[in-house]
Structure 1
Amino acid sequence: MTKEWFNEYNSSLNRKLVYHLGYDAGFFSEYNNMLYAMMYCLTHKIQFNIYCDDANFGFEKGWQDYFEPFFDEVHDDFHHKNNYRYFEKPITSDFVVYLKRLTKTILKMNKKYYRPYYKFEETEIVRKHKKETKCDLYTQDIWNDLIEYPTKRIVTNPCDNTCISEFDFLNILNSMVWKYNEKTKSAINDTIGKIEMPKDYVGIHIRRGDKIKEAAFLSIDNYMSILKDKTDIMNVYVATDDFKMIKILCTNYPAYNFYSLTKEISTGYEQTDFDNYDKINKQSHMISLFSDIELLANAKCFVGSFSSNVGLYIAIRRNRERCFYVDYKSDYLI
């Protein structure tokens, strides 16, 4: 599947979706769900468009602040308040955590946003605007139909009518969409160049911050146990939002060589803090995040948590190749 094929096929479809990218969640929650939405549209013959003028990860152009143009973008600020993600899908295997997260999400949302869809109704202003703009669907209309996790379930790729797994499809879409612009690419290369990574290394992602409110935190020993079982490589790149994890690893596993771009002042990522960053700090954070991603994606193997959207993205990016998770069995990804 190429960008040219996608654009030609996409423009030929009659039903139209405007997907709100960068609504209110962390970048990879937003991005992974966008890939799900793209797959949903392609398999249901729906034209895919995005609105991202107000993207919480952007500072001027949204998607194009970091990536090459790809999508048909809609620039209509009506979508700022009226096109939204529905109730957050709590990504966790702990049912109690699931209920707490869902309850918190419902309570924090203004009732005027969720009540119409809780009653399976649509507001008059949205109906009118859809008719005027010849748009059939907003994000909330398909949200609960999007997959929570990609699996080995089979879908049809409309590009060549082959039957492939959801993971394979998402990998194809990501390969097509994930293209940094030159400014971002240069900034990532400069950032990675600050550390001298050996040729052979493995990658670990340990998420703390607000993620531990959604899913139970697993001991660092769980990560290292998998790592020791799967490889003899002693060079480890660690992507984490909490520098304390680096200290613990260095203390408990002195035989390993640990590398990281995490700053000593990092004590855990909070989405609410990020949303209040100014342009410079927001851009700096995103470049650091993308640098982590490139190092993890190119590692000989990866160990992380599937309940983290970064861990999920790496599985999509690497198409599950030598990806191991502390919270899911490997046969889930086959």
Structure 2
Amino acid sequence: MRSGKYVGLHIRRTDKANEVQPVKTKAYLAKAVNYLASPTNDMAATNITGIWVSSDDEAVFDEVKQLASEFFPGIAPNAVLYVTGGKPVQLMRGAADRNSYEAMVYLRAELEMLAGSAVFSGTFSSNVGRMVALMRKTLNMPDESAVSVDFPAWFAGRQRHRRE
């Protein structure tokens, strides 16, 4: 997938639902499509060859597979990819699990894939969302190619923007 144009999605559900109202999966896909349709972008949704999904809720992967072709014509379900392996999220409750070497390797792989996407759609209220936006900046990706369903912009450090 790294050689093609793909969308990166970071969709937090489990612990994020305790902090804010959940956002529907469609909203993340719609944000990516809106960026691709913007006049500042020279790529169309039809150029997207895959979707990389990062989530703490395994049900999200099936949702994205079902919705993908509605937003990105020509994307097959097998072009929706994510990291597999390691403990299921439900079993990673202790600090030792979350901070294990294995967990860090999987997180790093997800960050790299999200950062390398043609467009990233996530939440700027999350550490992962802000980290991906920062990583994209180091890759000289346009700032506007990282979009959020909760804040209009990101910056390094604490998030102080108001919701749209």
Assess same fold via TM > 0.5.
yes
- In structure 2, relative to structure 1, the CA distance for the partners of 1:210 and 1:246 (3 Å cut) is same
Task: Find the partner of 2:18 among 205, 213, 217.
Answer: 213
> Any idea what SS the aligned residue of 2:147 has?
strand
Query: Whose Rg is larger?
Result: 1
- Aligned partner letter, 1:236: I
Residue 238 in structure 1 maps to residue 42 in structure 2: no
Q: Distance in 1 between matches of 2:131 and 2:22?
A: 19
- In structure 2, relative to structure 1, the CA distance for the partners of 1:297 and 1:265 (3 Å cut) is same
Residue 327 in structure 1 maps to residue 142 in structure 2: no
Q: How far has the Cα of 1:215 moved from its partner?
A: 2.1
Structure with a larger share of its residues in helix? 1
> Any idea what SS the aligned residue of 1:217 has?
coil
Contact 1:201 1:235 in 2 (8 A): yes
Task: Find the partner of 2:96 among 265, 276, 282.
Answer: 276
Q: Which residue does the alignment assign to 1:309?
A: 127
- In structure 2, relative to structure 1, the CA distance for the partners of 1:253 and 1:202 (3 Å cut) is closer
- In structure 2, relative to structure 1, the CA distance for the partners of 1:262 and 1:230 (3 Å cut) is farther
Instruction: Point out which structure has higher relative CO (alpha carbons under 8 A, 6+ apart).
Output: 2
> Any idea what SS the aligned residue of 1:227 has?
helix
> Any idea what SS the aligned residue of 1:229 has?
helix
Q: Which residue does the alignment assign to 1:289?
A: 107
Contact 1:274 1:282 in 2 (8 A): no
- Aligned partner letter, 2:30: S
Contact 1:208 1:268 in 2 (8 A): no
Among all aligned residue pairs of Structure 1 and Structure 2, give the percentage whose two residues are the same amino acid: 26
Q: Is there any run of 5+ residues in structure 2 with no aligned partner, and where?
A: 37-44, 138-142, 156-164
The RMSD of aligned alpha carbons is 2.7
Q: Distance in 1 between matches of 2:126 and 2:4?
A: 27
> Any idea what SS the aligned residue of 1:209 has?
coil
Residue 228 in structure 1 maps to residue 48 in structure 2: no
Q: How far has the Cα of 1:297 moved from its partner?
A: 1.0
Report 1:16-165 matches (<5 A).
none
Contact 2:97 2:103 in 1 (8 A): no
- Aligned partner letter, 2:82: S
- In structure 2, relative to structure 1, the CA distance for the partners of 1:268 and 1:245 (3 Å cut) is farther
Q: 1:45-87 deviations in whole A, cap 9, x for unaligned?
A: xxxxxxxxxxxxxxxxxxxxxxxxxxxxxxxxxxxxxxxxxxx
Contact 2:86 2:102 in 1 (8 A): no
Contact 1:242 1:262 in 2 (8 A): no
Residue 261 in structure 1 maps to residue 83 in structure 2: yes
- In structure 2, relative to structure 1, the CA distance for the partners of 1:242 and 1:329 (3 Å cut) is same
When the two structures are superposed, what TM-score results if normalisation uses the length of structure 2? 0.69
Q: 1:86-120 deviations in whole A, cap 9, x for unaligned?
A: xxxxxxxxxxxxxxxxxxxxxxxxxxxxxxxxxxx
Q: How far has the Cα of 1:317 moved from its partner?
A: 2.1
- In structure 2, relative to structure 1, the CA distance for the partners of 1:313 and 1:268 (3 Å cut) is farther
